[in-house]
Every structure is written in structure tokens, then in C-alpha cells.
Chains A and B, each alone.
Chain A
């Protein structure tokens, strides 16, 4: 596989994906490929996407994140998103965007707890 878009961390059976770069369309698509590839390679049972550094999530980014979660689900993997900034959550809500197939958690700890419960 080509170079990783985002360095990831394997945490128990989970894959932690901290997004610390600007999410342009090309990046978000490559990130999707990377995540699916890593689920397949590393026997991952849950994905935690940390978006605490992301200050804009628009309609297309939302779509790709949900699409990724849907694909992960088909591979037997739950997706939790954590650290969403309050103003980003507000903007998404006002736009009427729902992150389909994605569980939201307040923090990384909560995300891990949620995934532990699901197993």
C-alpha cells in the first residue's frame, strides 16, 4: 500500500486514527483506503477516529466518514468518532447532517469503553 495518510496506533484490538492534518478531498479518500486496508491487515475489531484537531467537517467529509464506517461494519468492525469540537457538532446539526453508522464519544476513554461494551 502507498504511504499512510495518517499514522495510526493499534490499541488492544482497536485502531486509533488521530486526524491531525487538513482533510482535503483527496486526503479523506486516501484515509478511507488506508483504514480499510489496516482493518484487513491487522485484525482490528473497532476503529476510533479522533477528530479533536479537525476544525471543519463539511457535507462531503461527513459522507466519506460515514461511508468508511459502513464499509468497516461490513468487515465486522464498529467505528467510533471522538473529540468532535462543539462548534463543529453545532454546524453539522444545523446543516441537518447525521453521521450514519458512526457512534460518537466524548473522549478517547469513552470511545474505548463503548467498544468494549459492544464486544
Chain B
């Protein structure tokens, strides 16, 4: 899938237990707060990380979430980048999974990926059946 060098990131979270979902959500929240995102954006970022961590735990059993601060675009906007990757079963129909309302879980809305896409400024997903899944999202810090 994607080559990742953990040293390039500010935070590396291993997702393995259910409790790691809440931990990663809190870590993302603290990091976004330190980066001076608005309260609304801190909440969106923490919610997106919660969704990504749960998908890893639920579908791939384990994986990693990497978070870093970077500058993006010609205007060098302060940006948070989140990469979630796993070597789980992968997604058969990525387009369908991202469209919203599709789920292979019994007790779910199927709005995780579709929701993340709407909450963040950029959304990129790569998935291969039998190999794994990687989701990269970014959010720029706006002047406020």
C-alpha cells in the first residue's frame, strides 16, 4: 500500500483495542487545539479521527493513525494531516463505501467515511482487497 515513515509524523497511534478509539480522539483533539484550530474545527478533526480509528478497529482489527502539522499550498497554510492505514481486508467497492449509507456492519449508520469527507478539506482513500486500506485527510487552519 503506502510507504510510511513514522518519523515524518508528530503523533503515531496504534489502534488495537477498542479503548484506543477514545484515546486517539483525545490525542487528535489536543493536537488540533495546540495548532490553534477553531473549536468547531477541533471538534470536526476529533470526530474524523474517531471514525477512522473505529473503522480500523472494526474492519482491520489493527492499524495505525499518523498525524502531523504541515504547510500546504502556495500560501503555505497551516494544515493538519491525518493518515489512517491498516493491512486489513480492504474495501471491495470504495466508491460505494464513501457515498454514505452503505455499511457492512449490523449496528451502524454507514456515515463514517462520507462524514469524514464532508468534515475535512481534502480526502483521499486507497484500498485493495486482501491488502489493506489507507485514508489521508487534511484540514487547513483558517484565520478567524
B-binding residues in A (CB < 8 A): 22-26, 55-60, 62-64, 67, 85-88, 90-91, 94-97
Is A95 touching B50 in the complex (CB atoms < 8 A)?
no
Q: Are A26 and B43 in contact (CB under 8 A)?
A: no
Contact between chains at B46 and A63 (CB < 8 Å): no
- Interface size class of chain B, counting residues whose CB lies under 8 Å from the partner chain: 20 to 34
Complex CA distance for A58 and B123, rounded to whole angstroms: 18
* A58 touching B50, Cβ below 8 Å: yes
Contacts beyond the supplied A59-B115, A85-B43: 7 A-B pairs with Cβ under 8 Å: A25-B18, A56-B50, A60-B54, A60-B112, A91-B47, A91-B119, A95-B114
Residue of A whose beta carbon sits closest to that of B118: A94
In the complex with contacts A90-B43, A91-B119, A97-B109, A59-B51 CB distance below 8 A: yes
For B25, B47, B114, which residue has the most chain A Cβ atoms within 10 angstroms? B47
State whether B112 touches A55 (Cβ < 8 A): no
Cα of A95 to Cα of B45 in the assembled complex, Å: 12
